[in-house]
Amino acid sequence: VAETTNRRILVAATPEGPLAEKHFRIEDGAVPEPGEGEVLVRTVLLSIDPANRAWLQGRTYRDQVLPGEVMAGLVVGEVAAENGTGVPIGTYVVGDGGWAEYSVLPAGRVRQIEPAGDLAYHLGVFGPTGLTAYFGLFDVGRPAAGETVLVSAAAGATGSVVGQLARIHGCRVVGVTGSAAKNQVLTTRLGFDAAIDHRSPTFADDLRHACPNGVDVYFDNVGGHVLDSALRRMNTHGRIVCCGAVSQYDTGTPAPGPAGVPGLVVTKRLRMEGLLVFDYTQRFGEAVAALAGWLRAGELVELHDIVEGLANAPRALIGMLAGENVGKRIVRVGPDRLPATA
């Protein structure tokens, strides 16, 4: 490997309240050598996900990321060296590389990809968020044409795909975001029927007006007061897809619940069901083929939002939690390909 320095971002402290730059620190070290069965991956793109914040707190499906450790994150990168794996140098892979210019991973823990087209698609529409949208909507939400589908964080990576898939499926689609500018994108570019603002003091009324026939499927990315209001608008036999609760991630003390929920679930015979996209690994091919078809046909628009430079990763995550991003937020860490050396 020509490069000798490996810039990494480590967790400096576990946040107790809102995430800040002081919770991270940059460290320059040596590029690691892959051990037997491992590959060295040069990071090109780093995925920024709301779950990154939850991992710092530790209440999730993976181990807490502790102070002194490299911040965890999904990357798309190029294999720069390998040790007895048979993976050719120059292969493009997706893996849990973390916030670093280079990372060493077991060959069995990276997924090889065909780097045709825009690499960002492998973190967005063909990555965990696009796949979550597909399986969450169709397998868990199971909407019928003509039904009303409500989705929160609707201009984000997952929500923007959910809403478009529901529209393609023939549903009436209503989005919830935190800004008028995002709502404009939903109704003018992505074909949503209506979009409302969760920061509005009249949110509950706005929801009622936007969903005159009630809600059949609520795809919940945020929890909190949006879920409270959505529960009250659900139709009998409605389905709530519990995908995430981003409104509760940026704190050491999430709001308690769900005190009044069971009564509503009983009287309306609702189904609330969680999903983790990794449970669908065996079916990723089916989803990617379907998503690629809709993209090719121009029915599905992919939105991503690139922040330049690894050093800006903390700011990119903090900004995402504040609602800055439109589409899939990604940090560009390095060029797609290194210039050829003589």
Ligand X SMILES: NC(=O)c1ccc[n+]([C@@H]2O[C@H](COP(=O)([O-])OP(=O)(O)OC[C@H]3O[C@@H](n4cnc5c(N)ncnc54)[C@H](OP(=O)(O)O)[C@@H]3O)[C@@H](O)[C@H]2O)c1
Which residues make up the interface to ligand X (CB under 6 A)? 49-51, 128-129, 132, 153, 156-159, 177-179, 182, 198, 221-222, 224, 226, 243-247, 275-277, 320-321, 323, 325, 329
Strands of the chain (E only): list them: 5-11, 24-30, 38-47, 75-82, 92-95, 102-106, 111-113, 148-152, 172-177, 194-197, 215-220, 234-242, 271-274, 304-308, 328-332
Burial class (CB in 10 A: 0-12, 13-18, 19+), 25: middle
Say if CB 80 and CB 41 are below 8 A apart: yes
- C-beta of 6 vs 177, nearer to ligand X: 177
Which residues partner with 173 through β-bridges?
149
- C-beta of 172 vs 182, nearer to ligand X: 182
Distance CA 341, CA 118 (A): 24
Number of neighbouring beta carbons within 10 Å of residue 144 = 10
Q: Are strands 92-95 and 38-47 parallel, antiparallel or unpaired?
A: unpaired
Alpha helix segments (H runs only) across the chain: 50-57, 128-135, 157-168, 180-188, 203-210, 224-233, 261-267, 284-296, 313-321
Least separation, in Å, of the C-beta of 330 and ligand X?
Answer: 10
- C-beta of 42 vs 239, nearer to ligand X: 239
- C-beta of 269 vs 283, nearer to ligand X: 283
Least separation, in Å, of the C-beta of 277 and ligand X?
Answer: 4
- C-beta of 87 vs 133, nearer to ligand X: 133
Least separation, in Å, of the C-beta of 177 and ligand X?
Answer: 4
Cis peptide, bond prior to residue 258, ω within 30 of zero: yes
Distance CA 296, CA 52 (A): 31
> Residue 329, SS3?
strand
Least separation, in Å, of the C-beta of 176 and ligand X?
Answer: 7
- C-beta of 79 vs 330, nearer to ligand X: 330
- C-beta of 264 vs 324, nearer to ligand X: 324
Say if CB 166 and CB 143 are below 8 A apart: yes
Q: Are strands 328-332 and 38-47 parallel, antiparallel or unpaired?
A: antiparallel
- C-beta of 73 vs 238, nearer to ligand X: 73
- C-beta of 75 vs 321, nearer to ligand X: 321
Least separation, in Å, of the C-beta of 32 and ligand X?
Answer: 28
> Nearest 5°: phi and psi at 174?
-125, 130
φ/ψ bin of 194: left (φ > 0), alpha (ψ from -120 to 50), beta (otherwise)? beta
Q: Are strands 172-177 and 194-197 parallel, antiparallel or unpaired?
A: parallel
